[in-house]
Structure 1
Amino acid sequence: MKKATSLTKIALQKFKKNFWGVFSLVFLTLCVLVAIFAYAIAPDNSRNANQMHLSIHSKSPGFTTQILTIPSTVNEEEGIITFFFGKPTTASEVPISSYTLLDNGISIKEYTPDDTLGLEKEYKLSNFPKANTVEEIPQHYLSDKKFLLGTDKYGRDLLSRMLIGIRISLAIGFVAVLISLLIGIAMGALAGYYGGKVDSIIMWIINVTWSIPTLLLVIAITLALGKGFWQVFIAVGLTMWVEVARIVRGQVMGVKQMQYVTAARALGFKDFRIITKHILPNIMAPVIIISAANFASAILIESGLSFLGIGAQPPMPSWGGIIKDHYAYIILGKPYLAIIPGLAIMSLVTAFMLIGNALRDALDVKS
């Protein structure tokens, strides 16, 4: 077998030999695919999986009931937008315990959790446009719905909320790391390359930012920008660049003394080209490793913010928000409502940390 001589190929071979690194990469790839096609996979494909059934709230995993769907008079949107972002919640879904066909419609008894007689309601055939006769109503508008992970305190499908909530975690990690890399690499490269007063000023900014507790700084930025989806992305990204900047600064200070950098200066290359073409490509290994760790940190910070109520706002599903809504159920006999999203957060963070460890081993030139 031909031995690899390229540093990239050698690092790739090392990474392939790391079982937990490869396993975590496969797991994260599946998570990304789930995030992209969440609404196609989720049982509840309404926007934000926000179809509520208050009569079946807090049900255990595997709970099954009959659902009568009452269509809306508003035309539902169809197409690529609804495939990726869900359908607006227009139709009403009513959990029922039994039904009776009438001459001109259907009579149903609503589901009740304590086996008491539910409220009886009648719906005319005209409410069901796809049914030409009364006998066709059950065929088109009645279904047995199974909630694999149960329902939350509002009667929403927990599995659907979890699947769509993964988008928040992955998106916050990606955007926050991207912001931190753009700022951190720029500031660290300038400080390390030019030194002197430029280094002193940038290091003063880094030290001041570093001295403020991360969560407090994120809360302050979030309150200044307002509560919301994109505000959290920006707030988390603006607090994570200092670690990247310190690492890049140290690496640049060491690399700028190398002979190939001196040769580039002698050839008259501009500083911008020397930094971007000669220095940065040779110091990216530790930056890649810290990025994996920052990805995990961003997910944890977003979950903490959502738990505090200043992250992604309802009805947008967020794993931290789901824990916030149900942490009291831990002592009320239904701990799975908080444990399931907690395990999901733990799995995602662990996967990124394992990938970071695998990358560290693979990119270590001494091993």
Structure 2
Amino acid sequence: MQNVSSSFFQSAWRRLRKNKGAVFGLYLIALAVLTGVFAYLFAPDHSPNANRMTVEIGGQKPGFSMLFFMLPKSKSVQKSVFFERLLNGQEDAYAYIPVYSWQQAGDSIIVQRYIDEGVAERQAYNIKNRDAGLSSIIVKKTFWLGTDKFGRDILSRLIVGVRVSLAVGLIAVVISLSIGIVLGLVAGYFGGSADKCIMWFINVVWSIPTLLLVFAITLALGKGFWQVFIAVGLTLWVNTARIIRTQVMSIRELQYVEAARALGFTGFRIIFRHILPNVLGPVMVMAASNFASAIVIEAGLSFLGVGVQPPQPSWGLMIKENYNFIITHNPLLAISPGICIMLLVLAFNLLGNGLRDALDVRSE
């Protein structure tokens, strides 16, 4: 039995690798995961949540460059250890002041501070902050995708924001599959009153619009990072339960299940040891589909203001903050997070289609 199962999955893996769409989806997902793990190392803005605000340069177009006078902050900023920086970023030890030009005069530096396009203000600063032990410096920064209305780097927030999409997808899939698999197995195997009760509950939940149900759960749990994960997960289990129930109803009549009953095995042992491994194919396909759905739902919730809250970067929240620029001079500020959502959802849909074809035993 183990050899047959191993041979089947090896054959499925070979078929999956031949599917160009699924391979492309896998590469995109791997790139997104890698980006999410090392987000603060890749992002030009390594501050927590990529939330370095420079209001003077808000709403700038892609490729915008500016000189910055980096003034050490009055308080000393403790440098985080590597893993803490990897997880939460590093607080800036400098205040970033945009300038047109600068010149040094003794112990001071005189800058033409950028106020607006064509507007400057002359200011002088001490070169060295003895309390912080840091020297003032001038750097040039380029914002490859522009800045939002608060002057934050769009590219950095896109990079850090991939964590939210991947996290909400993963947690929602775990929750939805856990509930859907258990209810589907119980309903499909035992039938009778258990099946009727579970199906009644499934039909009631299914009759409620998904977004409305998410709203209700979110309002009950409150707005926040973890609340939206739970809310999305609790709305995606219905399709999984229905599919698993249908699969189990056909499998429970097979000879090996009848043999297990004849040997006196308990119902739950038969379900989890003999039936569940044989329905993992549809489960994997549903996992990819639910992952894509969770990303879209989270983006919609954040856009409507009931999902991830500022200043935490979320692609849906970025669209909300910058959608006014679509009809003005800089539409890419809102379009770029939309493209990221589209590509990640496309990747999981392509992977789901590839898994469906690869795990189809009728193709053997």
TM range (shorter): over 0.9
Deviation by residue 1:85-120 (Cα, 9 ceiling, x = unmatched): 11235531111111121222212121133212x122
Match of 1:255 in 2: 251
Match of 2:191 in 1: 195
Match of 1:303 in 2: 299
Deviation by residue 1:228-277 (Cα, 9 ceiling, x = unmatched): 00000000000001111101111111111111111111112122211111
Match of 1:120 in 2: 122
1:96 and 1:108 in contact (8 A); partners too: yes
CA distance in 2: counterparts of 1:15 and 1:126, whole angstroms: 60
| 3-state DSSP of counterpart to 1:84 | helix
Match of 1:91 in 2: 94
1:229 and 1:311 in contact (8 A); partners too: yes
Match of 2:54 in 1: 53
| 3-state DSSP of counterpart to 1:169 | helix
The letter of the residue matching 2:112 is: K
- Match status 1:347 vs 2:343: yes
Deviation by residue 1:306-344 (Cα, 9 ceiling, x = unmatched): 000011000000000000011111111211011111111
The aligned runs of 1:54-69 (5 Å cut-off) are 54-69=55-70
| 3-state DSSP of counterpart to 1:257 | coil
- Match status 1:107 vs 2:114: no
- Could you say what the CA RMSD is over the residues aligned between the two structures, in angstroms? 1.5
Match of 1:165 in 2: 161
CA distance in 1: counterparts of 2:256 and 2:298, whole angstroms: 42
Aligned match of 1:81 in 84, 88, 93? 84
Match of 2:232 in 1: 236
Aligned-residue offset at 1:76: 2.5
| 3-state DSSP of counterpart to 1:119 | strand
Match of 2:143 in 1: 147
The total of aligned residue pairs comes to 356
The letter of the residue matching 1:98 is: S
Detail structure 1 runs of 4+ shifted over 6 Å in the superposition. none
CA distance in 2: counterparts of 1:18 and 1:84, whole angstroms: 35
CA distance in 2: counterparts of 1:249 and 1:90, whole angstroms: 57
Match of 2:286 in 1: 290
Match of 1:227 in 2: 223
CA distance in 1: counterparts of 2:20 and 2:116, whole angstroms: 47
Aligned match of 1:273 in 269, 276, 286? 269
2:77 and 2:91 in contact (8 A); partners too: no
2:171 and 2:229 in contact (8 A); partners too: yes
| 3-state DSSP of counterpart to 1:59 | coil
Unaligned 5+ runs, structure 1: none
2:98 and 2:113 in contact (8 A); partners too: yes
Aligned-residue offset at 1:130: 5.0
- Match status 1:322 vs 2:301: no
CA distance in 2: counterparts of 1:260 and 1:69, whole angstroms: 72
Q: Which moved more, 1:200-209 or 1:104-113?
A: 104-113
The letter of the residue matching 1:60 is: K
Deviation by residue 1:140-172 (Cα, 9 ceiling, x = unmatched): x21111111111111000000000000001110
Unaligned 5+ runs, structure 2: none
| 3-state DSSP of counterpart to 1:108 | strand
| 3-state DSSP of counterpart to 1:168 | helix
1:191 and 1:198 in contact (8 A); partners too: yes
Deviation by residue 1:17-75 (Cα, 9 ceiling, x = unmatched): 11111111011101100000000100000000000111111111111111112222233
Q: Which moved more, 1:35-44 or 1:331-340?
A: 331-340
CA distance in 1: counterparts of 2:202 and 2:69, whole angstroms: 59
Match of 1:13 in 2: 14
CA distance in 2: counterparts of 1:317 and 1:127, whole angstroms: 32
1:50 and 1:89 in contact (8 A); partners too: no
The letter of the residue matching 2:350 is: L
